[in-house]
């Protein structure tokens, strides 16, 4: 079976034993690889009610058929597990050289189960896996750990590691890989914490099996003939430099533009395939977008785009402030993507200290967001989940129409009047 290693490696961290499961063509066609294969492996291995930090949880590292081929942006892998953040399946992808090296071990996925008795790191090569002591690495940063492991295991190896956050079970802890002054991070879902719960500091891979392609000339022809973002990126960069935001409508290549639409239309269309891309081990649309953003920032010396964005958020923030009945001089340097309404602070000045104390004793902070949604059709998030006061609201200043922000301010005032009326009614009831 071409483009696959055709093997899945299972490692029991509790015993140190490793076993190889064949990956058949039917399974490969059904699951493709990457997170498709990882989801199936986790579904089979992890009990439904398992705690994410329990030995019963598993961590899967996987690659897809495109990894280690000539397709641009091919060196992608993922880590997947039952997430401590969501309690559900979660995968986080990353790049660098580690994915291609894992593919060259001949394994399409590595499944870690159980829990090591002491801090350890896992070494995966073409023959299987072994556990090595990692007590000397425990407490060290991801970069220090990777550098130490490359020195210990040899320059032909690659490593991905957790840091102190993962060791301590921080629920958003990441894994990081470094190679030639470049870094790749699997930062989503708290998978570093799951690895830490298993006493695994790092996973080292070493292999030399070159991925075989069924029809290399046909693949090359397909890549040459397909209009990819990689091939047209130069046109779009020039457009951004010349036209700023108007590059959306810039027809850098008329034939290509006619076929796929403008730059943003094209990237959005491609990003809808993100699940398939990740499953196959490819994340080119995201790489293209980040490249465009970076190049635009470097080439826009006049900062026209930044100024336009700042003008938008200033205008919207001012509308919300006016809707709240406040008189505030806007900060000319304010460029926040989100704003926070500290309702408790505002309410103490507008409905009184006693009314606020009544609210805090009798009403849940989430009630504010619910009332805005029910009575005014305004959906905002409670600020408490973003390290803001419990009685606060988080407002995006980037996503809504300008006229909505005045409505938000007025809606908050209307809800506050309702709270004040309830407080006054409670006082009247006590007097009676």
Domain coordinates in residue numbering, the chain = 7-205, 227-299, 305-431
Q: Give the Cα separation of 22 and 41 in Å (integer).
A: 13
Question: Are the CB atoms for 211 and 69 separated by under 8 Å?
Answer: yes
pTM for this entry: 0.59
pLDDT digits (tens, 9 = 90+) for 31-85: 988 889 999 999 999 998 999 999 999 999 999 999 998 887 788 999 999 999 8
pLDDT at position 405: 93
Cα–Cα dist 414/67, whole Å: 56
pLDDT < 70: residue spans in the chain: 226-290, 330, 334-336, 429-432
Give the pLDDT confidence of 183-242 residue by residue, as tens digits.
Answer: 899 998 999 999 999 999 999 999 999 999 889 888 888 877 765 544 444 444 444 444
195-234 exposure pattern, b = at least 16 Cβ within 10 A, e = fewer: bbbbbbbbbbbbbeeebebeeeeebeeeeeeeebbbebbe
pLDDT in the model for residue 330: 66
Model pLDDT, residue 254:
37
- Please check whether residue 391 is in contact with residue 343, taking contact to mean a CB–CB distance below 8 angstroms: yes
For residue 260 the two structure tokens come to 């796929």
Q: Are 310 and 335 in contact (CB under 8 A)?
A: yes
Within 126-228, residue ranges assigned H as helices are 142-153, 164-167, 191-197, 216-225
Helices 353-362 and 343-350: angle between axes, nearest 10 degrees? 140
CATH of 305-431, one of 2.60.120.200, 3.40.50.970, 3.40.190.10, 3.90.1150.10: 3.90.1150.10
User: What CATH number was assigned to the domain covering residues 7-205?
Assistant: 3.60.9.10
């Amino acid at each position: 079976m071409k483009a696959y290693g055709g093997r899945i490696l299972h490692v029991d961290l509790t015993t140190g034993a490793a076993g190889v499961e064949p990956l058949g063509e039917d399974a490969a066609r059904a699951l493709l690889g990457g997170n498709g294969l990882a989801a199936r492996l986790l579904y089979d291995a992890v009990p439904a009610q398992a705690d994410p930090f329990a030995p019963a949880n598993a961590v899967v590292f996987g690659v897809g058929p495109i990894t280690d081929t000539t397709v641009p942006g091919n060196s992608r892998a993922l880590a997947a597990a039952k997430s401590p953040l969501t309690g559900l399946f979660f995968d986080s992808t990353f790049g660098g050289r580690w994915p291609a090296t894992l593919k060259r071990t001949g394994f399409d996925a590595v499944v870690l189960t159980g829990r090591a008795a002491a801090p350890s790191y896992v070494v995966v090569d073409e023959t299987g896996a072994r556990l090595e002591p990692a007590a000397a690495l425990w407490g060290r940063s991801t970069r220090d750990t990777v550098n130490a492991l490359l020195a210990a295991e040899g320059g032909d190896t690659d490593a991905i590691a957790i840091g102190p956050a993962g060791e301590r079970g921080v629920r958003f802890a990441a894994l990081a890989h470094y190679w030639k002054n470049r870094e790749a991070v699997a930062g989503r879902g708290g998978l570093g914490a799951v690895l830490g719960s298993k006493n695994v500091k790092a996973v080292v891979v070493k292999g030399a099996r070159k991925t075989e392609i069924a029809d290399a000339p046909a693949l090359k022809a397909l890549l040459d003939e397909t209009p990819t973002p990689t091939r047209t990126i130069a046109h779009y960069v020039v457009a951004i430099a010349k036209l700023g935001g108007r590059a959306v409508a810039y027809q850098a290549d008329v034939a290509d533009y006619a076929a796929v639409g403008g730059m943003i239309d094209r990237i959005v269309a491609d990003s809808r395939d993100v699940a398939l891309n990740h499953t196959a081990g490819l994340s080119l649309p995201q790489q293209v977008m980040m490249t465009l953003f970076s190049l635009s920032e470097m080439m826009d010396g006049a900062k026209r785009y930044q100024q336009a964005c700042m003008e938008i958020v200033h205008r919207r923030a001012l509308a919300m402030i006016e809707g709240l009945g406040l008189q505030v001089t806007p900060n000319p340097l304010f460029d926040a993507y989100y704003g926070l309404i500290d309702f408790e602070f505002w309410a103490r000045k507008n409905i009184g200290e006693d009314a606020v104390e009544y609210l805090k004793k009798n009403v849940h902070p989430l009630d504010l967001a619910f009332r805005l949604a029910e009575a005014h059709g305004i959906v905002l998030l409670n600020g408490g989940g973003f390290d803001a006061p419990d009685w606060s609201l988080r407002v995006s200043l980037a996503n809504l129409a300008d006229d909505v922000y005045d409505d938000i301010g007025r809606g908050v005032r209307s809800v506050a009047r309702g709270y004040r009326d309830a407080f006054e009614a409670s006082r009247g009831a006590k007097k009676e």
